[in-house]
């Protein structure tokens, strides 16, 4: 009780207190440094994805309007077993998708557009400038393998997320912290995707559509960023996987997805 006494407005602290302050500051800086390293290193949801923000490119391809607008771009020189085209999801700037209804008039036609590339693994997307989407003067031949191939009825556990953020606009762009953004994006027309993490192999991305191949944006909002189980018809269109199911049959899981 009778030790040195600290008074902040005095010019100098007692030497014993000064030594204590130095030890305190060093300890606090070490703790802060330790937390900065640990908390940064232990982040788990940051993947490899890119949004080429500020880099606008021109694209030409065949517009497919349903279930969500996407662009089919033939790959030059593709032959044999390789898929002869790339698929680009199409979205508008910010938290908006392209309206499948307004794109219906361009369905199956060759279009030119300008936009910014977004990609994660093999998943590719273009944030298109809506006014730049025009029917092209030259018509492309539909590449081989463009027709949908049924993969049968299957069940998947995963997380519903908005494809735009997850594919690269935000990283990380998934899970609970990102849920509000994902809900706003999906309600704004961004294609909802089911992320399925497999024990072995790459994760699967399944574009969610209704049983009759319509968008399901408004029906899935309450299940975004939570573990869900979906059973439905799976179709492959090139590299694009589409999971068709009535959203009322989606089942919320109690446990977290693996």
Partner 1 sequence: MSSQYQAVQWNRQKRIYDLLLISGVALYLVVFAVVTEHYFPYVTEEILIMRAFGTLAFLLLHLILCIGPLCRLNPKFLCLLYNRRHMGVTCFFLGLIHAVMVVATYHAGGDINPIASIFVTSRLTGSLAGVPFQPFGFFALCILFLMAATSHDFWLSNLTPPIWKTLHMLVYAAYFLLVLHVTFGVLQGEAGLLYSVTMAAGLLTVIALHKAAAWRERRNDRELEGLRGDGFCDACSVDDIPENRARVVCLSGERVAIFKYDGKISAVSNVCQHQNGPLGEGKIVFGCITCPWHGYQYRPETGESPPPFKERVATYDVRVQNGRVFVFPKPKMDGMSAPAILTRQ
Enumerate binding residues for partner 1 (CB under 8 A).
1-3, 5-13, 17, 20-21, 24-25, 28-29, 32-33, 35-51, 93-95, 169-172, 174-181, 183-185, 187-188, 222-223, 225-227, 252, 254, 256
Regarding beta strands 123-128 and 240-244, do their DSSP bridges make them parallel or antiparallel, or are they unpaired?
unpaired
Work out how close the CB of 179 gets to partner 1 at its nearest, in angstroms, rounded to a whole number.
6
**Torsional sign, CA 126, 221, 228, 242:** negative
CB-wise, 1 or 137, nearer to partner 1? 1
Give least dist CB 97 to partner 1, A. Answer: 12
Q: How far is the CB of 199 from partner 1 (least distance, A)?
A: 17
Q: CB nearer to partner 1: give 108 or 177.
A: 177
Cis peptide preceding 63, ω within 30 of 0:
no
* Cα 70 from Cα 64, distance rounded (Å): 5
- Which of left, alpha, beta for 201 (phi over 0: left; psi -120 to 50: alpha)? left
Structure tokens at 183: 């809900």
Cα dihedral: 199, 234, 236, 114 (round 10): -90
User: Closer CB to partner 1, residue 7 or residue 137?
Assistant: 7
Three-state secondary-structure class, residue 167:
helix
CB of 43 to partner 1, least distance (A): 6
Tokens of 184: 């706003």
CB closer to partner 1 out of 10 and 79: 10
Task: Closer to partner 1 by CB, 63 or 90: give it.
Answer: 90
CB of 238 to partner 1, least distance (A): 25
Three-class DSSP category at 175: coil
């Amino acid at each position: 009780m009778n030790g040195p006494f600290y008074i902040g407005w005095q010019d100098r602290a007692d030497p014993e207190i000064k030594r204590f302050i130095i030890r305190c500051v060093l300890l606090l800086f070490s703790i802060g440094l330790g937390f900065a390293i640990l908390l940064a290193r232990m982040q788990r949801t940051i993947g490899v994805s890119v949004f080429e923000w500020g880099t606008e490119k021109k694209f030409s391809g065949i517009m497919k309007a349903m279930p969500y607008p996407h662009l089919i771009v033939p790959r030059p020189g593709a032959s044999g077993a390789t898929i002869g085209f790339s698929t680009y999801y199409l979205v508008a700037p910010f938290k908006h998708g392209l309206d499948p209804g307004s794109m219906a008039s361009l369905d199956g036609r060759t279009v030119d557009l300008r936009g910014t590339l977004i990609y994660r693994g093999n998943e590719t997307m273009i944030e298109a400038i809506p006014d730049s989407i025009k029917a092209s003067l030259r018509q492309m031949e539909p590449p081989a393998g463009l027709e949908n191939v049924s993969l049968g009825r299957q069940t998947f556990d995963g997380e519903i997320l908005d494809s735009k953020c997850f594919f690269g606009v935000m990283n990380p762009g998934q899970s609970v912290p990102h849920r509000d953004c994902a809900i706003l994006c999906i309600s704004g027309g961004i294609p909802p995707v089911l992320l399925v993490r497999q024990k072995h192999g790459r994760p699967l991305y399944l574009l969610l559509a209704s049983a009759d191949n319509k968008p399901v944006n408004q029906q899935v909002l309450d299940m975004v960023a939570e573990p869900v189980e979906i059973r439905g018809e799976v179709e492959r269109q090139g590299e694009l996987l589409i999971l068709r199911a009535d959203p009322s049959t989606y089942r919320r899981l109690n446990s977290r997805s693996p």
